Amino acid sequence: MTPQAEKALGAILSSKNYREICPDTARRVFEEALKRHKGLKEADKAARNELHRITGAFMTANEMREASGLAGQYAREPEKAVSEALSLHASTRERSDCMKALYDKVFEKGMPGSIFDYACGLNPLYLASIGVKTVRGCDIQGGCVRILNEWAACAGWDLQAECADVLSYLVPGSYDMALMMKLLPLLEGQRTGSAAKLLESCPAKRILATFPTRTLGGRNVGMEGHYTAFLHDILPHGIRIEDEFTQGTEKCFLLTKEM
């Protein structure tokens, strides 16, 4: 990038709204915006809009502060503190009515000892609170990562999160299960072929991949059928569909991977 472009990127990374976003993500989004727009001003605006779409729309700064503060209440009122914290992130909030039913179904053959949660948001709080022994996760929103690690320290959980861009992050170690909740179509929209690549590189024996069945406005426009076909088209060799079901507004696929 030119010195002017580097300066503009630096301004994004140091701004109030984006300073906790993974630097690799901000750079990637900004470089892609530069390719699509002729002027630096237009690219800067487009990059900021995209960063808000993939991060800021899920959790506000005030909600992050509140979720962080709830960690101190866990010892006194564990269930209430976890529930209130989960309600502060859009992904876990929209799943609140069916969260227990979802994981009861996923874990009906036994709870995995270790889980890696991609683009995790605050979901690891729930996993650790129901007894998953080892939970790891990554997210491009550093604020969520900070909250998870604060909670782990307060609750004494074996939970660790890292601020990382899924498109360039290589997960260390191996796990019994990995979660990709509504993630694959988002990645594919950002970079063609990335969904299959993530499935191939995932170091877990089983994978839960979910897809939305409704638009943000709640409309049914054939998304379930579309994403079912999408998964079948991109499923790499050595990964098979073990089970599929619909829970709430998510189409869920349990995948088994040859290791």
Judgement on whether residues 46 and 130 belong to the same structural domain of the protein: no
For residue 253, is it within any domain? yes
Judgement on whether residues 184 and 233 belong to the same structural domain of the protein: yes
The residue range of the domain holding 125 is: 90-257
Judgement on whether residues 250 and 146 belong to the same structural domain of the protein: yes
What CATH code is carried by the domain that includes residue 222? Answer: 3.40.50.150
Judgement on whether residues 194 and 142 belong to the same structural domain of the protein: yes
Indicate the Cα dihedral angle 94, 171, 185, 50, nearest 10°: 80
pLDDT per residue as tens digits for the range 7-21: 999 999 999 888 899
User: In this structure, which long-range contacts are made by residues 220-229, counting pairs with CB atoms below 8 Å and at least 24 apart in sequence?
Assistant: 223/251, 224/251, 227/185, 227/251
pLDDT of amino acid 219: 65
φ/ψ region of 15 (left if φ > 0, alpha if ψ in -120 to 50, else beta) reads: beta
What CATH code is carried by the domain that includes residue 47? Answer: 1.10.8.10
For residue 36, is it within any domain? yes
% of the chain residues with pLDDT over 90: 81
d(CA 80, CA 73): 9
Contact 250, 210 (CB under 8 A): yes
Last residue in a domain, options 37, 56, 75: 56
Contact 70, 77 (CB under 8 A): no
Nearest to 5 by CA among 52, 49, 38: 38
The mean pLDDT value of the chain amounts to 93
Whether residue 259 has pLDDT greater than 80: no
Contact 47, 29 (CB under 8 A): yes
Last residue in a domain, options 14, 41, 56: 56
